[in-house]
Amino acid sequence: MSKKYDALGIDIGGSGIKGAPVDLTKGAFAEDRLRIATPERSTPEAVCDVVEQVVDHFDVKKGVPVGITVPAAVTHGVVRTAANIDSAWIGTDAAALFADRLGREVHVVNDADAAGVAERYYGAAKGHDGVVVLTTLGTGIGTALLVDGHLVPNTELGHLEIDGHDAETRAADSAREREGLGVEEWAQRLQTYYSRLEALLWPDLFVVGGGVSKRASEFLPLLDLRTEIVPARLKNKAGIIGAARLAAKGN
Ligand code: BGC
């Protein structure tokens, strides 16, 4: 018999597609997550095959909300950008594609927006009113802007133009790796990036997510900002938890 879950979250990333049922009271997985490698050519159809396997793996009743992240701007279920995913996604009605295949409604959201919601409700920014900006430092830079707990979706501030460059090409974790930057050199780039963000938004709190947030104690102390800046807490669970929450409770 199917168990009664609050919601299911699925996080589509560059290397893995991960999903788990989520307990929305605790902000935690209700079962161990399942991870399947992202197909080499991550077209919408190929990704949809994997999403279907993830949903089938968990015995989730029809009617249980399903939230799915994509690393792109999404408006009304339609993917609008493709900075670090296959360009075939642009213009794809992902909500319709997944709903058709899965035979159930799904809620498709930007990956950083999902992480921001998770951190705001269950993690590093829990209960934090005012303006909270979450950034994910990974292959790209994702951003989520929350005002008194409400998400302003698709901010895409990783693509701010700074000194003639798309910011994520200079300050994302992938830029650090690609250019072999030491922590101090990379911190200088982060300094430039977060200074620009705080000059434009005057946030009350920055939350720094992405895989590299595990090593936040090495680079956050090197930054000199007027805004409080803290590492994310939910690590690689944030996308799944936030997608599930957005699907169940909306913004
Ligand atoms: C994309 C964003 C995404 C971020 C993190 C950026 O390149 O434009 O939509 O949130 O990468 O995956």
Quick: pLDDT tens for 15-64. 999 999 999 999 999 999 999 999 999 999 999 999 999 999 998 999 99
Task: Provide the percentage of residues in the chain whose pLDDT is more than 90.
Answer: 97
- Which pLDDT band, with edges at 50, 70 and 90, does 251 fall under? confident
What was the pLDDT predicted at 89? 98
Distance 113 CA to ligand 1 centre (A): 10
Mean pLDDT of 71-83: 97
Contact 137, 208 (CB under 8 A): yes
What was the pLDDT predicted at 2? 63
Asked whether residue 235 carries a pLDDT value surpassing 70, the answer given is: yes
Mean pLDDT of 137-163: 98
CATH number belonging to the domain at 127-233, selected among 3.40.50.720, 3.30.360.10, 3.30.420.40, 1.10.580.10: 3.30.420.40
Mean pLDDT of 142-150: 98
Spatial distance between the Cα atoms of 21 and 247, rounded to a whole number of angstroms: 12
Question: Measured from the CA of 111, which atom of ligand 1 is nearest?
Answer: 10
Name, in order, each residue with C-beta under 8 angstroms of 38's C-beta and a sequence gap of 6 or more: 12, 13, 14, 15, 16, 17, 47, 50
Whether 84 lines ligand 1, by a CB cut-off of 6 Å, is: yes
pLDDT digits (tens, 9 = 90+) for 89-100: 999 999 999 999
What was the pLDDT predicted at 132? 98
Mean pLDDT of 127-139: 97
Distance 197 CA to ligand 1 centre (A): 16
Distance 82 CA to ligand 1 centre (A): 8
Residue of minimum CA distance from atom 1 in ligand 1: 72
Spatial distance between the Cα atoms of 247 and 105, rounded to a whole number of angstroms: 9
Query: Domain coordinates of the chain in residue numbers?
Result: 7-114+237-249, 127-233
Spatial distance between the Cα atoms of 21 and 19, rounded to a whole number of angstroms: 7
- Which pLDDT band, with edges at 50, 70 and 90, does 4 fall under? confident
Same fold, 7-114+237-249 and 127-233: yes
pLDDT digits (tens, 9 = 90+) for 175-200: 999 999 999 999 999 999 999 999 99
Contact 204, 120 (CB under 8 A): no
- 7-114+237-249: CATH topology: Nucleotidyltransferase; domain 5 (3.30.420)
Residue of minimum CA distance from atom 10 in ligand 1: 142
Task: Provide the percentage of residues in the chain whose pLDDT is more than 70.
Answer: 99
Residue among 66, 57, 68 nearest 2 (CA): 57
What was the pLDDT predicted at 64? 97
Distance 136 CA to ligand 1 centre (A): 9
Which mutation among 84, 108, 139 tests ligand 1's pocket best, with the greatest number of atoms within 8 A of CB?
84
Asked whether residue 1 carries a pLDDT value surpassing 60, the answer given is: no
What was the pLDDT predicted at 242? 98
Name, in order, each residue with C-beta under 8 angstroms of 195's C-beta and a sequence gap of 6 or more: 225
